[in-house]
Amino acid sequence: MGIGRLVVLTGPSGVGKGTLLQLLLKRHPELRLSISMTTRSPRPGEVNGQHYLFTQRDNFQTLIDQGQFLEWAEFAGNWYGTPRQPVDEWIQQGEWVILEIELHGARQIRESYADAFHIFLLPPSLAELERRVRSRGHDSEEAIARRLKRAEAEIAAADEFDMQVVNDDLDQALAAIEASLFARSPAHAHD
């Protein structure tokens, strides 16, 4: 059995984390995706246990009190967190686990998993990030301004990460992440 590993993918909203993550998981089905828990209501099409683990605020608070999260934070009045137990179990079984989380959560993870591999996904420019956020079409001007202000602060912290990848070309960004992850372990070498 190989050695388990935790991979943390972070970057500002709109940088393409979700798209890159889905491609990485499709090409490397051996990677385990940790599903976050949230107190927000499911959006249309979201499935409990697939997109998020949906729960009530009082249950979430109990889990915080019991130390059951690797990381947790509040965004826009809702709580989000990474359940500790499945991640710990998978890593003990030799699995590689990937988390897609925000900067605050990535910093918390460092305390529990000092040897986690942290990847920060950068936009080609703030102007391009703004274009991507606007093209989603579901944020108010105020929300866009908030996201972009937070993105600037997050980008300033990129040097805290083991690897920085500019997501200008999706294939190149994916190739850079694959080379860094899988060149490190003969057990995860691919043709």
Angle subtended at Cα 153 by Cα 150 and Cα 155, rounded to the nearest 5 degrees:
105
Domain ranges of the chain: 5-183
Fold of 5-183: Rossmann fold (3.40.50)
Average pLDDT value over all residues in the chain: 91
pLDDT over threshold 90, residue 138: no
Beta-carbon contacts of 37 under 8 Å, excluding residues fewer than 6 positions away, are 52, 53, 54, 55, 60, 63, 69, 80, 81, 82, 83
pLDDT of 74-131, one tens digit each?
887 899 999 999 999 999 999 999 999 999 999 999 988 989 999 999 999 999 999 9
The pLDDT, as a whole number, for residue 185 is 52
pTM > 0.75: yes or no: yes
